[in-house]
Chain A
Amino acid sequence: DVQMTQSPSSLSASVGDRVTITCRASQTISYFLNWYQQKPGRAPKVLIYATSTLQSGVSSRFSGSGSGTEFTLTITNLQAEDFATYYCQQTYRTPVTFGGGTKVDVK
């Protein structure tokens, strides 16, 4: 199975900050990497797919980059509605696997 390691597992930030979350795959997954946002009691919501493509309707404050085994989600000008947990997901091979999540909370 492809292991997805996210870091950090949690971070504290303030409104207006720039936040970077990293996801590492245990083997190359090309660009088959998606990012999701989840708020308490809600289903995950896709933010970025295929490493860097912004889902329709998602704020341009979110961006993704990377390839192979290292990927990054960046949130610029963090807003109140961005405090949530973020997950990466690889769909290169089954079983599909997710990172352990990064909780972004208020500093």
Chain B
Amino acid sequence: QVHLVQSGPEVKKPGSSVKVSCKASGGPFSSSTLSWVRQAPGLGLEWLGNITPLFARADYAQKFRGRLTFTTDEPTRTSYMELRSLTYEDTAVYYCATERLDRTTTYNWYDPWGQGTQVIVSS
């Protein structure tokens, strides 16, 4: 069973960067796709993108291209999300989630999720 543990809360100034980690235990790591989703206060869920370590391939939501980077460190089974040029609108809880895949049908869903990392952008 995969279990995801994320890094702690962050308070950042506008224009700075934040790097959130997501450590996986149990289950495969390299061949798994990890997705990142955020949730602004009182709002819904927004997909940031995903990364598959085995293929060294990341897919980013158009909205964040140019200021978002996903990386992975296989020895420590840790994935990272770095968001640059922060604005107040980036204040949100950031989640990582493992993408489960039915290889026969290609249906996919997110399970499990990390506990979330609160990022506050404040001057």
- Chain A residue at minimal CB-CB distance from B64: A95
Q: Does B11 contact A (CB under 8 A)?
A: no
Contact A101:B47 (CB < 8 A) given known A32-B107, A49-B107:
no
- Chain A residue at minimal CB-CB distance from B113: A43
Secondary structure of the B side of the interface? Answer: strand
Q: Which of A31, A95, A101 contacts B61 (CB 8 A)?
A: A95
Q: Does B89 contact A (CB under 8 A)?
A: no
- Chain B residue at minimal CB-CB distance from A96: B47
> What band does the interface of chain B fall in when counting residues whose beta carbon is under 8 Å from A?
20 to 34
Contacts of A34 in B (CB 8 A): 109-110
> Shortest beta-carbon distance, B42 to chain A, in Å?
10
A43 touches B114 (CB 8 A): yes
Q: Which of B45, B47, B108 contacts A44 (CB 8 A)?
A: B45
Contact A101:B116 (CB < 8 A) given known A46-B109, A46-B110, A46-B111:
no
Contacts of B113 in A (CB 8 A): 43-45
CA distance A105 to B108 in the complex (A): 29
B62 touches A95 (CB 8 A): yes
Q: Which of A32, A55, A97 contacts B47 (CB 8 A)?
A: A97
> Shortest beta-carbon distance, A76 to chain B, in Å?
22
B residues whose Cβ falls under 8 Å from a Cβ of A: 35, 37, 44-47, 49, 59, 61-62, 95, 97, 100, 102, 105, 107-111, 113-116
Contacts A/B (CB < 8 Å), 5 sampled: A32-B107, A45-B111, A89-B45, A95-B47, A96-B35
